[in-house]
């Protein structure tokens, strides 16, 4: 299809999103929530000019090297004084972090309900979460704004953004992205009441999210996976169709493999970036073949990968709904990139371009359907933070719609839009 055709489809989808939000069933969001500090790498002079041989200089060298290659991802640094050093020297602003929290926040923006697993209920953390997001308590579910605060909080994550064409020290990034810097590990955000409350919601929910396993302490990985697997298994047994595992930038391929081995048995859906797919299945086969191989090995109903210019899925479910889910994720993420924060789309972002995709929009392979769409790409986005999590929220918003008796809004079939 032509770029103009995709733009018209995205414009039409933007008009449907508010209705999809009103019709949405609850999404169960676990298990990653944190506070982020947003920083611009090209403005981090104190870090970039740090004396050689210091921990700050080591961090700066790694960040600049990644920016020069156009590579983001996550970075764990063993520097106990790092947070205090950065807070004292760099101008940053607080934001909400964590896949589960970002997804819940994006859904709330569209009027879609969610239940968030949250153990850190400090004023700083609570203040970043939309009041429409629900959390569990000993007496039921309520708005995050109404729960009692707890003392203490985790160390924040520091996110250094860089933009294609904007100098960082002596390098010019070829691609816009961000690097997340953590100075410690984060246990899963599982509060005492979430398992029971989410299980009660599961029969009527649209989807559940499993995330945060890339950040747990190594000594807690097995117990964290066992706990999450038990919750996911209970959701499935209660009738929840979509249990989505979001992989995340993990410490090693072996780490990712262990997460997939344990949680793949309980999930029905998998999400990962193209770089993560390349690490897991580095054999050079087409994207669809590798996604299908992963899905078949793990017994999943769908697997999806997202890249800068496109998103693709393989699924055994409704292909039209799946393509719409990919587009909803891409549209929400592109709109966030355009505005620098969560914003309800009014249409395809002005100036967005549509690149080549590695696959046709819809193809069949036995019982599998392969779907692919170009994303509205912005070479110089206002921000790159949270785009993958926002993509996830848009996808699950569509996938989690009730099949009956209320019909979900849909786009016309591809051939009818662009013959």
Residues 192 and 171 in one domain: no
Is the model's pLDDT at 408 over the cut of 60?
no
Please say if the pLDDT value at position 409 is more than 90: no
pLDDT of amino acid 411: 54
The answer to whether the CB of 120 falls within 8 A of the CB of 150 is yes
CA distance readout (Å), 284 to 287, 300, 373 = 8, 22, 21
Q: Are residue 169 and residue 114 in the same domain, yes or no?
A: no
Clarify whether residues 126 and 57 are in a common domain: no
Q: Of 164, 182, 200, at which residue does a domain stop?
A: 182
Same domain, 234 and 164: no
Same-domain status, 53 and 133: no
Burial of 46 (0-12, 13-18, 19+ CB in 10 A): middle
Residue 412 is predicted with a pLDDT of: 47
pLDDT of 133 > 50? The answer is yes
State mean pLDDT over 85-100: 95
* Mean pLDDT of the residues in the chain: 94
pLDDT at 419: 37
Q: Which residue has the higher pLDDT, 399 or 404?
A: 399
Query: What is the number of structural domains in the chain?
Result: 2
Cα of 28 vs its chain's centroid, Å: 14
291-334 pLDDT tens trace: 999 999 999 999 999 999 999 999 999 999 999 999 999 999 99
The 10s digit of each residue's pLDDT in 144-190 is 999 999 987 788 999 999 999 999 999 999 999 999 999 988 999 99
Give the pLDDT score at 152: 77
The first and second tokens of residue 24, run together, are 């949405």
What confidence category does residue 406 fall into, taking pLDDT thresholds of 50, 70 and 90?
A: very low
Of 162-171, 247-256, 379-388, 409-418, the range with the lowest mean pLDDT is: 409-418
Predicted pLDDT at 72:
93
Q: What is the mean pLDDT of residues 198-204?
A: 98
- Average the pLDDT over 188-207 and give the result: 98
Beta strands in 104-169 (DSSP E): 114-116, 134-137, 140-143, 157-162
Q: Which segment of 305-319, 330-344, 352-366, 402-416 scores lowest on mean pLDDT?
A: 402-416
Judgement on whether residues 14 and 138 belong to the same structural domain of the protein: yes
CA distance 319 to 335: 24
Q: Are residues 358 and 220 in the same domain?
A: yes
Which pLDDT score is estimated for 410? Answer: 54
Joined tokens for residue 3: 């770029």
Helix (H, G, I), strand (E, B) or coil at 300: coil
Same domain, 30 and 40: no
pLDDT of 219 > 60? The answer is: yes
Percent of the chain with pLDDT over 70: 96
Least confident of 42-46, 51-55, 341-345, 412-416: 412-416
Task: Supply the pLDDT for residue 417.
Answer: 42
Are residues 215 and 139 located together in one domain of the fold? yes
Q: Tell me the average pLDDT across 329-342.
A: 97
Q: What pLDDT shows up at residue 91? A: 86
Helices vs. strands in the chain: H and E counts, helices first? 14, 16
In this prediction, residue 392 has a pLDDT band, given cuts at 50, 70 and 90, of: very high
* Interval 9-35 mean pLDDT: 96
- Pair (164, 272) in one structural domain: no
What would the mean pLDDT of 96-104 be, rounded to a whole number?
A: 97
Domain span at 50? 36-96+154-182
CATH of the domain at 291: 3.40.1190.20
284 shares a domain with 402: yes
For residues 196-202, average pLDDT:
98
Rounded distance between C-alpha atoms, residue 16 and residue 13, angstroms: 5
pLDDT value at residue 25: 98
Together in a domain, 170 and 256: no
- Cβ neighbors of 245 (< 8 A, separation 6 or more) are 210, 211, 259, 260, 263, 264, 267, 269, 270, 271
Specify the DSSP class assigned to residue 343: -
What CATH number does residue 54 fall under? 3.30.1110.20
């Amino acid at each position: 299809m032509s770029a103009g055709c995709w733009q018209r489809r995205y414009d039409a989808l933007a008009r449907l999103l508010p209705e999809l939000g009103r019709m949405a069933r609850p999404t169960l969001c676990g298990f990653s929530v944190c506070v982020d500090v947003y920083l611009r790498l090209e403005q981090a002079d104190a870090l970039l000019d740090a004396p050689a041989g210091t921990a700050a200089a080591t961090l700066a060298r790694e960040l600049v090297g990644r920016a020069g290659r156009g590579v983001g991802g996550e970075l764990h640094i063993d520097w106990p004084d790092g947070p205090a050093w950065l807070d004292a020297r760099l101008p940053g602003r607080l934001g909400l972090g964590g896949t589960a929290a970002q997804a819940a926040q994006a859904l709330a923006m569209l009027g879609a309900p969610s239940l968030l697993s949250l153990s850190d209920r400090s004023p700083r953390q609570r203040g970043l979460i939309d009041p429409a997001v629900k959390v569990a308590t000993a007496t039921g579910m309520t708005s995050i704004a109404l729960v009692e605060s707890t003392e203490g909080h985790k160390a924040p994550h520091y996110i250094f953004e860089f933009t294609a064409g904007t100098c960082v020290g002596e390098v010019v990034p070829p691609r816009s992205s961000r690097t997340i810097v953590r100075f410690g590990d984060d246990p899963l955000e599982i509060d005492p009441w979430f398992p029971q409350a989410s299980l009660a919601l599961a029969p009527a929910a649209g989807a559940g999210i499993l995330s945060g396993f890339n950040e747990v302490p190594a000594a807690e990985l097995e117990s964290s996976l066992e706990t999450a697997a038990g919750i996911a298994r209970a959701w499935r047994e209660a009738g929840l169709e979509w249990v989505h595992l979001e992989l995340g930038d993990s410490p090693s391929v072996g780490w990712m493999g262990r997460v997939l081995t344990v949680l793949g048995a309980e999930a029905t859906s998998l999400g990962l970036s193209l770089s993560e797919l390349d690490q897991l299945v580095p054999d050079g086969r087409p994207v669809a073949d590798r996604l299908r191989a992963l899905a078949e090995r793990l017994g999943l109903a769908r697997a999806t990968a997202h890249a800068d210019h496109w998103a693709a899925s393989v699924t055994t479910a409704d292909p039209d709904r799946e393509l719409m889910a990919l587009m909803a994720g891409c549209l929400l993420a592109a709109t966030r990139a355009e505005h620098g924060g969560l914003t309800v789309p009014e249409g395809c972002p002005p100036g967005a371009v549509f690149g080549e995709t590695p696959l046709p929009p819809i193809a069949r392979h036995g019982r599998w359907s392969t779907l692919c769409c170009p994303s509205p790409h912005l070479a110089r986005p206002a921000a790159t933070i949270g785009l993958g999590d926002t993509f996830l929220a848009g996808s699950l918003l569509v996938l989690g719609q009730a099949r009956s008796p209320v019909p979900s809004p849909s786009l016309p079939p591809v051939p009818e839009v662009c013959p």
